[in-house]
Amino acid sequence: MHKDEYVIETDKLAKTYPGGIKAVKGIDMKIQRGQIYGFLGPNGAGKTTTIKMLSTSIKPTSGTARVMGYDISKDSMKVRKVIGVVPQDLTTDEDLKGIENMELVGRFYDIPPRESRKKAEELLDLVDLTEFGNKYVSTYSGGMRKRLELIVGLIHNPKVLFLDEPTLGLDVQTRTKMWEYIRKVKEEFGMTIVLTSHYLEEVDELADIISIIDHGQIVVTGTPEELKNSLQGDIIEATFSDSMQSKKFGEYSKSVDVTYPKENVVRMKVKDSDMEVPHIMKYMSDNNLSPIRFSISKPSLDQVFLDYTGREIREEEAGDTRKAQMNMRRLRK
Amino acid sequence: MSGLLPLTGRELKKWYRNMVFFITGLLQPIFWIALFGSAFDIAKFLPHSALENTFGTTSYITFIIGGVLTSTSLFTALFSGTSIIFDRRLGNMARFLVSPIHRSSIVFAKVLSTTVRILVQAVILIGVAFIIPNGLILSNGISLLGIFIITAALIMVAFSFSSIFSIIAIRLKRQETIFGIINLINLPLLFASYALFPPSFMPAWLRNVAAYNPVSWSSQAIRNVILNGTLTGSVLNSTLEYMLYLLLLTIFMLVLVYFVSEKEIRD
């Protein structure tokens, strides 16, 4: 083992696909041991391409990366031995039983059959699939298949686990359950996890460090808290019935950042809404202002994303419906 | 080569577990020999002496068994590439590519499992050829060398053709493409060969084409064994010559598969 302090380190890692699509335009990142590192970004941002390069299934066009100290291009076989991958698409064989799928993968790593079987049983137990281990994967539900995918990538005790959109196409309840399993895996094996997602809640919930990625580049990196704090403040939004009132409200204070997203709508960015709201209330009653709508929002990753990329991630998901549906169809099959 | 045995095991498991696929695979050669051998039984129309002169036997099934064995092998091998495309489309390939196995073992597993399937088919086919009326007669017996030649010829046909079609499939995303190619070339490969008729039946141009067809090499080598029992003199030489061509083709294809798949296989 290399004694690098970082489990993953990239240097201007880039990928241009044949046909000229620049999927990843030079990514520099460092991932520490034991972290859950979340890649957040809309579809087409370059998340999957980055994961595929780091997990050696495609080669970068330029730049380098090391995983556990091994160069992904020169030592790809060594990299494969120490990583576990749960790709975005389902990879298990429907014509085999759950446990057979795991044993097959175990043999890829030259794990002795007996050891492989024991480990497979442990892992099936971990994700509550024990009673389905001897059933054909074709009989699994979508959620069960995703759980199987998760543990197939763990049979050889990897040091780093890549999870590419682990909950894509799952319903909300199943997704929450999946998060639990991912946390359990982290606790049990203490590995470093690299996770991609376009669900804000998911990275917020799971990741220690987040990189927001857009158009093939990392826009910002930090802990969820840091990113939220970087917005510097809460948002107060008030809607009035006429422009007289809204204008008056906008003159509340010179030290507060005021915008007018719509006519008669005032948005204020305040450092700490808990402290500011009493003053605002007083100002409104002194000036006879009566809003029809009044809201206070603490920063969310949604806003962080909006702030750094200039668009809401939700907008992106619309175009993604078709892909999600296709995935669901395959999951149900 | 890491990954080769587990992946081959996977293929075979999928084969014998899929009962319809398994049984149709075994019935296909029986149909070949029983239907084709009887329907095209030219022996009914020709006097025995003429048959002896052109076919070397009075039983048409004895004459074509080498051709039928070879073409069964060919038809099974042509389809081995398609499962590479399905592995890609069903996502299994993504798992193989991130596992510490040689990429060529993904393709060699297809080739190897296809070969095993073909050998099982061949045994059944020969068994059926013996028991049907007017079937296979080994009038000159058979030697150990003969059995070796039959087995080796079939293995080499299986290896070569499944390699060619696996290479075609390595970058393909759509199975329709490969089905199209298979449909286009399977019958020309069969009919432009010595599989069903002796060279003397063919027009000169076809005979020249057939001389370069690996299906001819295997059919003729097996036929020499079946008709002559013990090989001697010029028959032995021509048989060894066909086997040498097959061997060279097989080696060439195996090397090609290795390099192409290590470099080109994609998710």
Q: So what's the pLDDT on residue A123? A: 92
Closest CA to A109 of A69, A183, A159, A67: A159
Is A57 in contact with B14 (Cβ distance < 8 A)?
no
B91 touches chain A (CB under 8 A): yes
Cα A193 vs. chain centroid, distance in angstroms? 11
> What phi and psi, each to the nearest 5 degrees, are found at residue A234?
-100, 165
Please name the residues in contact with A254: beta carbons below 8 A apart, sequence gap of 6 or more.
none
- In chain A, which residues have pLDDT < 70? 1-4, 310-333
Closest CA to A99 of A80, A113, A84, A79: A113
- Give A13-60 pLDDT, tens digit per residue: 999 988 888 999 999 999 999 899 999 888 888 999 999 999 999 999
Is B100 in contact with A108 (Cβ distance < 8 A)?
yes
Interface test with A, best of B19, B98, B106 (most A CBs within 10 A): B98
- The alpha carbon of residue A92 is apart from the nearest alpha carbon of chain B, in Å, by 6
Is A93 in contact with B98 (Cβ distance < 8 A)?
no
Closest CA to B135 of B74, B189, B80, B58: B58
Which chain A residues are within 8 Å of B6, Cβ to Cβ?
A: 104, 107-108
Pairwise CA distance, residues B246 & A49, whole Å: 43
Confidence of residue B8 (pLDDT cuts 50, 70, 90): very high
DSSP codes, A85-108: EE-SS--S-TTSBHHHHHHHHHHH
Question: Residues A130, A124: contact at Cβ < 8 Å?
Answer: yes
Tokens of A309: 């990329």
Burial of A99 (0-12, 13-18, 19+ CB in 10 A): buried
Is A57 in contact with B2 (Cβ distance < 8 A)?
no
- The enclosing H or E element of A6 equals strand A6-16
Pairwise CA distance, residues B221 & B202, whole Å: 18
Q: So what's the pLDDT on residue A4? A: 53
Is B94 in contact with A92 (Cβ distance < 8 A)?
no
Tokens of B35: 């239907």
CA angle A96, A98, A101 (to 5 degrees): 60
Domains, chain A, with CATH or none: 6-228 (3.40.50.300), 232-298 (3.30.70.260)
- Give B97-110 pLDDT, tens digit per residue: 999 999 999 999 99
Q: Among A103-107, A163-167, B171-175, B238-242, whose mean pLDDT is lowest?
A: B171-175
Residue B177 pLDDT greater than 90, yes or no: no
- Give B108-145 pLDDT, tens digit per residue: 999 999 999 999 989 988 888 888 877 788 878 888 89
Pairing of strands A265-270, A257-262: antiparallel
Is B94 in contact with A57 (Cβ distance < 8 A)?
yes
- Give A135-184 pLDDT, tens digit per residue: 999 999 988 998 999 899 899 999 999 999 988 888 888 888 889 889 98
Q: Considering only the beta carbons, identify the residue of B5, B17, B91 that sits closest to A90.
A: B91
- Give B20-61 pLDDT, tens digit per residue: 888 888 888 788 788 877 777 766 777 777 777 777 777 888
**What value does the mean pLDDT take over residues B248-252?**
96
Q: Considering only the beta carbons, identify the residue of A91, A94, A109 that sits closest to B94.
A: A91
Q: So what's the pLDDT on residue A101? A: 94
Confidence of residue B1 (pLDDT cuts 50, 70, 90): low
Task: Find the closest chain A residue to B14 by CA distance.
Answer: A95
Q: So what's the pLDDT on residue A312? A: 58
Is B18 in contact with A90 (Cβ distance < 8 A)?
no
